Structure 1
Amino acid sequence: MKQLHPRLRIALRLLLTPVFVLTTVWGSFALLYRLEWPLPASSALIVLWCLLGVGSLLLLWRRPVLWAVAAYLLVLALLQGWWQTLQPSNQRTWGDDVARMTQGWTKGNLLWLINVRNFDWRSDDDYDIAWEDRQYDLRQLQSVDLLTSYWGMPAIAHILVSFGFQDGRQLVFTVETRKEEGERYSELGGFFKEYELSIIATDERDAVRVRTNVRDEDMYLYRIDMTVPAMRELLLSYVAQANALAERPRFYNTLTANCTTIVFEMVQSILGGLPVDHRLLLTGYLPEYVLDIGGLQKGVTLEELRRRGRITDRARLAGDVPDFSTQIRLGVPGWQAAIPAGDRSANTDGSP
């Protein structure tokens, strides 16, 4: 067989080296997060995998390139064969907050939902469990709000969507990692089939207070500028997605199947033409993206929307008041216009 030109061999080696390194690192994390072996055995296999990666690199630079590629593809194929055996499931011992899956159906203008979460949270480990069946009149749907919840870096936030009805009720949908009992969330684990995906409908008091009062997160609420037909389509799209997950489980993915990308896909299917943007991945900056595409209140700066839309303190102060959803919205731009005139508060400056 004719030998490759020396410069071509060097170019191939330079090209393949980062591929070998990155796939070796990926395989190490895949084994770390998903190999369900006793710790000594799993640690030994991870070390062996890393040694195979290093050996393949040495082979790449000291032997013919095709030898190294063939050897590495063989061990990578074995790892991929195992990886493909990992399938999502709805049959695990789940944490209480994701133990059930919301499902729904419509009959005329009525929306019926089962397994709407309405926990009373005192701490992450102390709460009253409540799952409810609820009915909503789609003709009373009048608003959609975007909620962002921050717990650390400003670039990362959890995204929730709240649907408002003329009777004052708010229904929140949240895309969650469906963690097993005792399992903790890991951004890295979310890349490696660590969690299933779940869409849960919750009472707004539950969804907000667990984050502001229990987990000490910082929450913001933005009124979305959307037509009522589009609101209805988005709500029913959430229900359809939740039903689909109940029938066909799916893995959560930190990058491609998370609380923002799922919502973006639904809105894209309804409105179309939405640009793909880095802020769909850096979820903390999602309000800026929504403002840029005309989805927030007109004539109000992002800084003003953030200042008046910060509901953290209002949620903590509201406690168990019957009009919790009204209290946290006092001063939020766009909120006053969405409720009957007789119910409007005189408070519009954003103070609690």
Structure 2
Amino acid sequence: MPILTQSLSSFALLLALAWGLAALWIQAPGGSWWRLIWMALWTASVLAGLASMWIQHRYTVPARWVLAAAAMILAAWWISLTPSAQRDWADDVARSLSGRVQGSIVTLHNIRNFDWRSDTDYTVRWQDASYDLDTLQSVDMALSYWMGPAIAHTLVSFGFTDGRHLAFSVEIRKERHESFSTIGGFFKQFERNIIAAEERDILYVRAGPRGEQLSLYPIQMPQAAMRQLFLAYVDSANRLADSPQFYNTVTANCTTLVYDMVRPIVPGLPMDIRLILSGYLPEYLYRHGGLDTSQPLAALRAQADITQRAAQAGPGADFSQRIRQPALIPK
């Protein structure tokens, strides 16, 4: 075997080793000790296969068969991991959103409207409500920064002429004992969930109890496109309620799934690294006409920062109005 081919094959095996170890550590059944055993067996199989590429020995062929068998078992186990709608869910993702469309009226079931006193102290409240899409008048993008300037959680909020605002969020559907893990999101640790919530719930908890930096950007979008995007959320929620899916940190996250919904509405919208590094989404939207380009982006960023207003507003009934009051920006 040529040296270049051996080197590339060896590199591929090392990547497979790393992937398998991460998958087994996060998902293998049986507790920590069994996980370590499965990881050790996978490591031994890969190293044996790796050695067989470089050392000619009478055990070369058996070692490759061992590696092939281990890879097939690992792949079969991975494929067998399927999403479920029946787990001991955390309170804030315990219910699945669903909706019914009748003409311009959309009736949503299981809208979240918690009263948050802290991240662990809250009053659970789920409600149903109807919205008339003929009265839809605004779309805002909220970015909640929780891990530096490059990473933000993306939410989309719809405003109606009666003063109501409803925010949609694509999130992990974590179990009661779980917390978010970026690595776990690559390895089928979490199901995917779409939350529809009152802004006084879903925006307040991030700026207030969780202490995240929160920005709110008005999106330039025709009313017909707003309507299509709202319906796309409802359709996605209904499909998730019928057929659970896994969350993925890169391919099926809070931003890429919104992009998937927007792309049919705005043809030609390009893929971009900022769909992954969602903290930089304002630059992407500004470049493609999604934000008010009559102002510099720096001014829009300053206006969009509602962290202090949202935290001080508290979860009151007038929360949506208070966070949209003009901020006093130093000259």
- Shorter-chain TM-score above 0.5: yes
Give matches, 1:332-347, under 5 Å: none
Q: What is the CA distance between 1:50 and its match in structure 2?
A: 1.5
Q: What is the CA distance between 1:168 and its match in structure 2?
A: 0.7
Contact 2:48 2:64 in 1 (8 A): no
Q: Deviations over 1:9-43 (max 9, x none)?
A: 21111111110000110000111111121221221
Give matches, 1:306-325, under 5 Å: 306-325=301-320
Taking structure 2 as the reference length, the TM-score comes to 0.95
Which segment drifts farther, 290-299 or 184-193?
290-299
**Could you say what the CA RMSD is over the residues aligned between the two structures, in angstroms?**
1.6
Give matches, 1:118-137, under 5 Å: 118-137=113-132
CA distance in 1, matches of 2:114, 2:89: 16
Give matches, 1:70-85, under 5 Å: 71-85=66-80
SS in 2 for 1:113: strand
Q: Deviations over 1:62-94 (max 9, x none)?
A: 138987665433321110011111000101110
Structure 1, unmatched stretches of 5+, are: 1-7, 332-347
Residue of structure 2 equivalent to 1:54:
47
Give matches, 1:152-167, under 5 Å: 152-167=147-162
Which segment drifts farther, 68-77 or 211-220?
68-77
**Residue 258 of structure 1 pairs with residue 247 of structure 2:** no
**Residue 97 of structure 1 pairs with residue 85 of structure 2:** no
CA distance in 2, matches of 1:270, 1:68: 53
Contact 2:115 2:315 in 1 (8 A): no
Counterpart code for 1:32 = W
Q: What is the CA distance between 1:263 and its match in structure 2?
A: 0.2
CA distance in 2, matches of 1:141, 1:99: 28
CA distance in 2, matches of 1:91, 1:202: 22
Counterpart code for 1:22 = L
SS in 1 for 2:264: helix
CA distance in 2, matches of 1:48, 1:153: 38
Q: What is the CA distance between 1:271 and its match in structure 2?
A: 1.4
Counterpart code for 2:40 = V
Identity of aligned residues (%): 46
Residue of structure 2 equivalent to 1:18:
11
Residue of structure 2 equivalent to 1:29:
22
Taking structure 1 as the reference length, the TM-score comes to 0.90
Question: Structure 1's 302 and 63: CA in aligned 2 closer, same or farther, altered over 3 A?
Answer: farther
Q: Deviations over 1:205-256 (max 9, x none)?
A: 1011111111110000000000000000000000000000000100000010
Q: What is the CA distance between 1:150 and its match in structure 2?
A: 0.6
SS in 2 for 1:215: coil
Structure 2, unmatched stretches of 5+, are: none
SS in 1 for 2:189: coil
Q: Deviations over 1:278-322 (max 9, x none)?
A: 111111111111111110012112211111110100011112443
Give matches, 1:201-280, under 5 Å: 201-280=196-275
CA distance in 1, matches of 2:315, 2:75: 51
Question: Structure 1's 329 and 350: CA in aligned 2 closer, same or farther, altered over 3 A?
Answer: farther
Q: Could you tell me which of 159, 170, 182 is aligned with 2:165?
A: 170
Q: Could you tell me which of 285, 299, 302 is aligned with 2:297?
A: 302
SS in 2 for 1:26: helix
CA distance in 1, matches of 2:154, 2:73: 37
Residue of structure 1 equivalent to 2:287:
292
Counterpart code for 2:56 = R
CA distance in 1, matches of 2:328, 2:206: 24
SS in 2 for 1:174: strand
